[in-house]
Amino acid sequence: MEKLSGAEMVVRALQDEGVEFLFGYPGGAVLHIYDAIFQQEKVQHILVRHEQAATHAADGYARSTGKPGVVLVTSGPGATNAVTGIATAYMDSIPMVVLSGQVRSDWIGDDAFQETDMVGICRPIVKHSFAVRDTAEIPEIIKKAFYIATTGRPGPVLIDIPKDKTSPMVKLPYEYPSKVKLRSYSPVSRGHSGQIRKAVEELLKAKRPIIYAGGGVVQGNGSESLVKLVRKLNFPVTNTLMGLGSYPATDRQHIGMLGMHGSYEANMTMHNADLILAVGARFDDRVTNDTKKFAPGATIVHIDVDPAVISKNIRADIPIVGRVEHVLQDMLAAVDEIGSKPDEKALARWWDEIDGWRKVHGMRYETNDNGLLKPQQVVESLYRATAGKAYVTSDVGQHQMFAAQYYKFDAPRQWINSGGLGTMGFGLPSAMGVQLAFPDAMVACVTGEASIQMNIQELSTCLQYHLPIKIININNQSLGMVRQWQDMQYGGRHSQSYMDSLPDFVKLAESYGHVGIKVEKAEDLDAAMDKAFSLKDRLVFVDVLVDPTEHVYPMHIADGAMRDMWLSKTERT
């Protein structure tokens, strides 16, 4: 058998896993591994400018491809810089394997230089973690890490590797295991057939049903089956922020996003439903509003791969634990088997009601007549320029909500944002991961002048790897969402929510070797957007000045029901 050092084992195991990209940043504790990386070409290392960006880039790669993202950071600050990105991936159930260096094992616990207890720090934000104790166990640990990260409810897995375990002086036989043995971990696949049948019977009886599909449909590759089921039943379907794209947004049966900033029709439909089929969603607080007032007349059918999300916030009447993809397929089969059809008359009445809601308060906004752009116009212009075909990553805040509301995502994995943790600084590095995975695709990062500055240094990485991302900076010179809350709940006192001393983003982009375009007037927007996307091989930073007073609507009224919303600054339900 071939003999390898621990460092060589790490790199070889990544090759054997079929890893294309390793996002990382070198440092003392991982130098043996970096030396092994230098001596091969199969795994391409992407050198970021900050470890947080390595995790977000790996995350963007994972979200857009469905394959696990892989990260390599050094001990101490390298590892702690990665923490935000790991937590981001954890909250959104993204498969990721993070390798962190550690000081040599005989120094652990001695407060050695760049030592930190990374396994301890990450405990609440990883699906699992490993600390390497023997060089010989490296291949098995890596195999297990990839298996755990990608199966069941996916999530990040950490492997902490002390420097001495990767020493080039110690060579041991290497064999990559073909199978994983884990007696305490066996993720479910198929749902309980009795429960599925019961659920389908309820679906067929329902008079005011809605399908509520979340990120689990995207991550669990359940989109195709979801579309089939929705069309077969002629039910309305709504998406969570994480689920956008799992059902085509331009389709008649799609009634928009639901929740805090969801569409009027989606929230009204949820509130008035007699049956809610939740698929790969978790009744998050940004969805339900007050759980005690949530959908009072609805029977809840809840499908999820993770039993712990079922009945956590909202009690499920029919829980189904299983992979979304399989459960939906089995449901389709059960519909055929039972042979009856949904109540057509009742559904027609239900659709009339929904279309009425759509007509009265569908997604809309007022434009300014003084030429000052509204942020929604920017997203609409992006949608037009890309014909709805771009991968769109976003940062966090108002621009994120506007992107979710006004870019109509027709395909899964097209919309990439930090929904659970809400991490500012996610947009640009995640776009790097997407662009690396799909070099010829249009990749746009919708961001704001605050978020973009949280990982602006990655403009340098983008130049190094020729990543022609289009950065759409919706610049309202303030922390828009914070400002909105301050307007609504703090008497308009804008405490620390405006961004003074902004850089000239055009010059900034240019100094990093990219193209910068500034847009100040509405009439220049479309041309600027078209120009940006015509420069196919360049990163273009489009800095668009927008109205800072704009708010995101609809917006749930706190502690109310799904139907309780602000529809504009003056109108409420």
Partner 1 sequence: MRRIISILMENEPGALSRVVGLFSQRGYNIETLTVAPTEDVTLSRLTLTTFGDDKKIEQITKNLNKLIEVVKLVDLTEGPHIERELLLVKIKATGAQRAEVKRTVDIFRGQIVDVTSSIYTVQLTGTADKLDAFIGAVEAQVMEVVRSGVSGVARGEKVLSI
Binding site for partner 1 (CB under 8 A): 119-120, 123-124, 127-129, 131, 148, 182-185, 306-308, 311-312
User: 220: which DSSP letter?
Assistant: T
Smallest separation (angstroms) from partner 1 to the CB of 292: 14
Smallest separation (angstroms) from partner 1 to the CB of 85: 19
* Catalytic annotation present for 481: yes
* Catalytic annotation present for 569: no
Smallest separation (angstroms) from partner 1 to the CB of 455: 27
User: Smaller CB distance to partner 1: residue 159 or 257?
Assistant: 159
Q: Could you please report the per-residue DSSP string of 413-464?
A: TSEE---SS--TT-HHHHHHHHHHH-TTS-EEEEEETTTGGGSGGGHHHHHH
* Catalytic annotation present for 51: yes
By three-state DSSP, how is residue 253 classified? coil
* Catalytic annotation present for 113: yes
Measure the CA–CA gap between 343 and 336, rounded to whole angstroms: 15
Q: Which residue has 């995207």 as its token pair?
A: 218
User: Smaller CB distance to partner 1: residue 123 or 507?
Assistant: 123
Return all residues near 93 (Cβ < 8 A) that are at least 6 apart.
153, 154, 155, 215, 216, 219
Catalytic residue among 127, 143, 144, 163: 163
Q: Residue 118 is which amino acid? A: M
User: Smaller CB distance to partner 1: residue 182 or 348?
Assistant: 182
User: Smaller CB distance to partner 1: residue 124 or 492?
Assistant: 124
Q: Are 246 and 226 in contact (CB under 8 A)?
A: yes
User: Smaller CB distance to partner 1: residue 39 or 184?
Assistant: 184
Catalytic residue among 40, 44, 114, 477: 114
Q: Are 342 and 233 in contact (CB under 8 A)?
A: yes
State the Rg of the chain over Cα: 24
Measure the CA–CA gap between 418 and 237, rounded to whole angstroms: 22
Closest CA to 550 of 363, 379, 403, 375: 375
Q: Which residue has 């919706």 as its token pair?
A: 474
Smallest separation (angstroms) from partner 1 to the CB of 124: 4
User: Smaller CB distance to partner 1: residue 179 or 183?
Assistant: 183
Smallest separation (angstroms) from partner 1 to the CB of 306: 7
- In this structure, the strands spanning 565-566 and 555-556 are antiparallel
Smallest separation (angstroms) from partner 1 to the CB of 115: 17
Q: Are 261 and 396 in contact (CB under 8 A)?
A: no
* Catalytic annotation present for 163: yes
Q: Which residue has 């983003």 as its token pair?
A: 505
Q: Which residue has 């550690």 as its token pair?
A: 102
Smallest separation (angstroms) from partner 1 to the CB of 165: 15
User: Smaller CB distance to partner 1: residue 185 or 351?
Assistant: 185
Residues paired with 416 in a beta bridge: 393
Q: Are 57 and 404 in contact (CB under 8 A)?
A: no
Measure the CA–CA gap between 552 and 407, rounded to whole angstroms: 15
Active site residues: 51, 113-114, 163, 481
